[in-house]
Structure 1
C-alpha cells in the first residue's frame, strides 16, 4: 500500500540508510535483491521446503523494467506483477538486461533447526561450552589478487503464535475469540477481570537487521600454502551486561583456542570510537583491546614490571664472582616513595616449609551423575595446600564410573589427558582448602564422546610462623646504617634483596615460536619476538623499538601510548605467528574490570 516503504510493522514509512522496509520485513522477498542467502535457521524446519522454493538463490525473482533505449531504463517501477507490467509497456524480467540463459544461480541456502537459546541470556544454550552459532564456509575467490569487500547481513525475525501464519490485512486477526489483538488486552477468567502486558507490534516483527562489513584478502606470500591458519579475534563491546545486550561484554574469540603445533594463528581485532555512553575502561565511547601474556595462571597478573599508586616497583637481577671464584646471584626489589611500614610490607614474603607427609590424590567428576563433581580438599588448620600435579581426562573406567556416564575408555597414555595444573594452582595453592569442580570450559575437551574427571595430586605443608622483627634500619649509599627513622617519613628510594639460585630467576611466558607475517607494512624485519609482543601489547601503536626499523618506534621522542590505549587505533589487522607448544594464557590489560568484564583467553598447542 503506497510503496515498498510501508509495511504492517512500519506503517509510517520510516527508512534507515539504504534499506527497503518491505524487503526487510518479509522473507522470502518477491523482488530481486543483491543479497545471496547463506542459511535460514528456524524453529519450524518443516517449512524449509517452502522457504527454499521461494528463495532468490535458486528461484528467479522478476521485476518490471521500462526501457528508454537498449542501454538505459527509467529506474524502478510501481508494478509488481507481469500483467500490469506488460500492459504499461514494461518488460517483466529477472534481470535489467534479460539474459536469463546465462545467469549462474547461487547454491541453495542451508535451512535447518535453529539452535536452542534461552531469551535474554546472552546466548545460553543447552551446550554450556558454546554459543548458538552457525559454521559458514567463506566464499573462495580462486586466484584472488586483491582484497574483496563483503557485507554480511544477519536478520532476526520473531513471529509468535498470537497470529495465524498467513494473513493479508494490516493488523490481522488474532486468537482472541476471532477479534483483533490490541495492546494490553483484558480478559475475564472465572469471573476475575485480568489484563495482559502485550504490545501487539511485537508479536510478529523483525527484531534485528544488522550488517557487518569485512574484507577477504589474499593469503600473504610469506605464509606457506600448506599451513592451516586459525583465527583469534575479539567479540563483544563496551558496557555492562545490560548495556552490551544483545552483544556480550568483551571476550576473546575463541576464548579457548586449540591447535596443533604446526598450525599458524592470525591474531587480529576490531573496536569502535562511537559506542553509546556505557560502563568500561578508558575514554568513553571507545572499544580497545590488546594482548599481554599472564604470568600467574588464572590471575590478573600480566607479564612486565608492576606499578602501584605513588610507587614504582622495579625488580632487578644481578650476580657477581667472589674471591673464591664462585658466583652468587641476587634479586633486588627497588621501592620508591614509601614509608617504612610500607617498605617492610612489600619486602617481607610468606615462607612455606615443605612437609614430607603422604602425597594425596583426589578426583572430581565432570558430571554429577558420575559421582562427586565438586570434590573439596582440605588441610589442617596449621597447613596449606601444595598442588603437585593435576590433569583432566580419563585413564581409568572405575573412577567416576564410565558405564554410568557413557562414552568409550581411552587406554593409550596421554590420549585422553590434558594438563590442568595451571588452573588448580591458581585456585588452590597456598589455601587451606578449595573446590575441585571442573569441566571442558577450563582446558577444552581432550576426548569428545566420553565422560571425564579431574585428578589432583597434592600434599599439606606446615605453615612457618613469620619471624618477629623487632628492629629496622636503612643502609645508606655511603655504607652507613640510618637507625633513627620516623615510621611515617616517606623514603624516596630504597631496596630489599634476597640471594637466589640462578635457575630461580623469574622468566616471562614464551608464547610465540616464529613471527610469520605482520600487517604493519613499515617494519623491516620479523626477527624480534619482543617487537611482536610490543605490537600486540600496544594494539599496534608501537611498531618496533628503534626508529630505523619502522615508522613509529617505541624509543622515538614522539607521542606516547596512553596507558589505557585511548590513542591507539580501534582496529588492528595484527600478525600471523607460530606458537610454542603448551598452554598459554593471556589477557587484555584495558578490559580487566574483574568478574564478567575480565577479558582473558587461552591457547592450547598440542
Structure 2
C-alpha cells in the first residue's frame, strides 16, 4: 500500500483513551501479572519489567510455583498453566473439538452500554490478544524464548551507534542486552525495530511535546502521546501498544475486540492484522539477509533510501511441509485455510512460504460495567469472555502469553477523525485548562492531563502452554475449570481478588469434558511496601501460600464435604486424562487426588502402577498437613467426563467465613 503516515492515521483507527486516576484493568483468570514475578510485598517491584500496564502497583498475581516451596532462582520450578488446544474439528458441528477457557477481569472506569440504554461516562473497547511460539525443553530457552524470568529487572537495551551497523555488531548488541534470568515477551528485535523506526507523524498527540531525538536525529515509534519521554517497558513497542489496529506488522494475534459499539465491528475485523496484510520497509545486509530494522515508515521514503516496501502477513503457524503454492493452497487440515505469502518475520522477503491463516477476530459490544467501580458487571456476573483456544495443525506444544488492553475515551473530541492536523495549539483538548463560568476573573481550572486524556491500560498473563490433545479426545469439547484469587482478605489483596472457582457455575452437556487445574504462589505475603493499601495475608494455613483443593458438598449452603461413600460427583465419572500417568485411576483415587491438591496420587501403593507415582500414595507418603501446607501450590489436574446431574463443591482450606466462600457448581444437562 502506497500511503503517507497521515493517511495511515485515518485508515487505521486510533483508540485513544481517558482517565485522571491510577485505575486500571486486572486479569483474574488467566491470572494477570501486572508485571509481578514472586514479590512478597503488596506492591510490585518493577512497573517497567515486561510491559506498560499503567495499573496500580498493588495489582496482579505472582507467577505460579510447581511445589510447596518458592521457585527462587530456578524457573524450572515455576508452574505454567497447561491448557489443551482445540481439536482438529474445531468450529464444525456444535462446536466439536473446542477447548473453552473463560477469561475474567475487572476494569475500573466502566465499559459497555450506549446512549439509549445504560449510558456510560466514557467510551471504551477491550482488545484480547495472544503471542505463541514452539515450546522448548529448557525453561529459559534461547534469547527469544518467552519466559517469566527469575529476576524483576528489566531486560537491557543499547541503541546502535549507526543505522548502518554490521550484522555482527547487531548480534553483539543483542547478546549483551538479553539476559536469560529476566522475563521476556516481545523479542529484543521487536523493540530495536520500534526504537529505530520513525514514529507515525500522522497520529494525534494533542498538546504533548514528544521527544524529538532518540540519539539518531529523529523521533521514533518509542515516543507517543501517552509516553512522550520514550520510557521503556521490557521490549514492548509504545506506538503499537497505544494504537489498534496498528498500521505496522506485529507479532500479536487478535482473539477478540469487545467494542464500544457493535457498528465498529466490521472495521475492527477487516483491519486486524489477522486478515489484512501490513507493509514494512525492509533493508538488506550485504550478504542479502534481512536487516531487522529500518528507519523508514512509508513507501516513498523507503524506496528513496534503497529499501523494499514489502507486504507482510500474520499467521497462526508456518507449514513448511508444503513447499509450493499449489500444494499450500490445496492443503486441507482441521478446517483451516493455508495461504502462500511472506510472513512478517521472514528472513528472505522475496520468498513466500506456506502459512496457516488466522481467522478474523471475534467482535461484539463490550460487557457493561459501572464507572469507578472495580467489580462485577450485570447481575453480579464477573466481566468475562470465553476464548476458544486455537488448534495448531503441526501437533506441537506452544509456549504463549495473553494480554488484554482496555481503551477508554470521552466525547470531548472525535477519536476517529482527530489526527496530527489537531496537534499543538490546534488540539481540542489542552492540559489543565482554565474555563470562564461567566463571572469575570473567577475562572475555574479543569484537571486534564493530555497524555492521559485518552488512555490505554493493560494486563498480561504469565507464560502458559497450549498442549496437543491425547488420543481419544480429539473431537470432545473441553471446558477449563480454574481458580482465581490470592492469599489475603479483600482489603489486603485489592485490586486483586480473593479465591474463587472460574467459572463459578459451569454448564456442560453430557459427553463434554472438564479439565480441572489451578495454580498458586508460595510468596503471596502482601507485605510492606503496602503502597496505598493495607498489607497482610489473612487466611488459613501457612503464611504467604496459595493452596486450593476440591471436595464435593451436598449444597452451596453447606460447609462440610460429603464422605466418598455418598458422593455423586465422582461415582461414575470417567477419567479421560490425568497428569503424568495413565487414565486407569479409580473414582475414589481421583477424589483423593483432588482433595489433596495432587499430594496423593492413590490411596494404596498397588493402585499406582507407574514407578513415578509409587511414592505419592497415602500408604507411602508423609501425612498430608490438614490445611494443605505441604501440598503443591499448583495442580495440573485431570480431564473428567461427568454423568448428568448437578454437583456442588468447595475448597476446604479457603472456605473461610471471615474472608470468602470458595464454592462452585457443575451442571451437566
Q: TM class by shorter-chain length?
A: 0.5 to 0.7
Kept in 1: contact 2:576–2:641 (CA 8 A): no
Kept in 2: contact 1:295–1:302 (CA 8 A): yes
Residue 204 of structure 1: how far off its partner (Å): 1.3
1:152-551 matches, cutoff 5 A: 152-165=402-415, 166-168=418-420, 180-182=430-432, 186-189=434-437, 191=439, 194-221=444-471, 223=472, 227-241=476-490, 244-245=493-494, 247-275=496-524, 277=526, 278-281=536-539, 282-295=541-554, 297-303=556-562, 508-512=566-570, 513-522=572-581, 526-548=584-606, 549=608, 550-551=613-614
RMSD value, Cα: 3.3
Among 245, 268, 290, which residue is 1:73 paired with?
290
Query: Which string of whole-angstrom CA distances, capped at 9 and with x for unpartnered residues, describes residues 497-538 of structure 1?
Result: xxxxxxxxx95433111342443325x673432211111111
Q: TM-score, normalised by structure 1?
A: 0.58
Among 372, 377, 381, which residue is 1:130 paired with?
381
Alignment length, in residue pairs? Answer: 397
Query: Which string of whole-angstrom CA distances, capped at 9 and with x for unpartnered residues, describes residues 133-165 of structure 1?
Result: 3333322234x6442333322111222334442
Q: Summarize the Cα distance change of 1:286–1:604 in structure 2 as closer, same or farther, 3 Å threshold.
A: same
Q: Summarize the Cα distance change of 1:201–1:286 in structure 2 as closer, same or farther, 3 Å threshold.
A: farther
Among 207, 226, 231, which residue is 1:14 paired with?
231
Q: Summarize the Cα distance change of 1:162–1:64 in structure 2 as closer, same or farther, 3 Å threshold.
A: same
Query: Which residue does the alignment assign to 2:281?
Result: 64
Query: Which string of whole-angstrom CA distances, capped at 9 and with x for unpartnered residues, describes residues 471-500 of structure 1?
Result: xxxxxxxxxxxxxxxxxxxxxxxxxxxxxx
Kept in 2: contact 1:94–1:100 (CA 8 A): no
Unaligned runs of 5+ in 1: 305-505
Structure 1 SS opposite 2:387:
coil
Structure (1 or 2) with the larger CA radius of gyration: 1
Kept in 2: contact 1:280–1:591 (CA 8 A): no
Structure 2 SS opposite 1:116:
coil
Q: TM-score, normalised by structure 2?
A: 0.53
Among 640, 650, 664, which residue is 1:587 paired with?
650
Q: Summarize the Cα distance change of 1:19–1:274 in structure 2 as closer, same or farther, 3 Å threshold.
A: farther
Query: Which residue does the alignment assign to 2:35?
Result: none
Q: Summarize the Cα distance change of 1:527–1:286 in structure 2 as closer, same or farther, 3 Å threshold.
A: closer
Residue 112 of structure 1: how far off its partner (Å): 2.9
Query: Which residue does the alignment assign to 1:570?
Result: 633
Q: Summarize the Cα distance change of 1:602–1:570 in structure 2 as closer, same or farther, 3 Å threshold.
A: same
The whole-number CA distance in structure 2 between the counterparts of 1:173 and 1:289 is 57
Query: Which string of whole-angstrom CA distances, capped at 9 and with x for unpartnered residues, describes residues 64-96 of structure 1?
Result: 222124652332112111222222222221344
Unaligned runs of 5+ in 2: 1-211, 213-218, 313-345, 527-535
RCO (CA 8 Å, sep 6+): is it higher in 1 or 2?
A: 2
Residue 275 of structure 1: how far off its partner (Å): 4.0
Kept in 1: contact 2:486–2:546 (CA 8 A): yes
The whole-number CA distance in structure 2 between the counterparts of 1:171 and 1:211 is 35
The whole-number CA distance in structure 2 between the counterparts of 1:20 and 1:533 is 47
Kept in 2: contact 1:266–1:577 (CA 8 A): yes
Among 353, 358, 368, which residue is 1:106 paired with?
358
Query: Which string of whole-angstrom CA distances, capped at 9 and with x for unpartnered residues, describes residues 434-485 of structure 1?
Result: xxxxxxxxxxxxxxxxxxxxxxxxxxxxxxxxxxxxxxxxxxxxxxxxxxxx
Residue 170 of structure 1: how far off its partner (Å): 10
Residue 33 of structure 1: how far off its partner (Å): 0.9
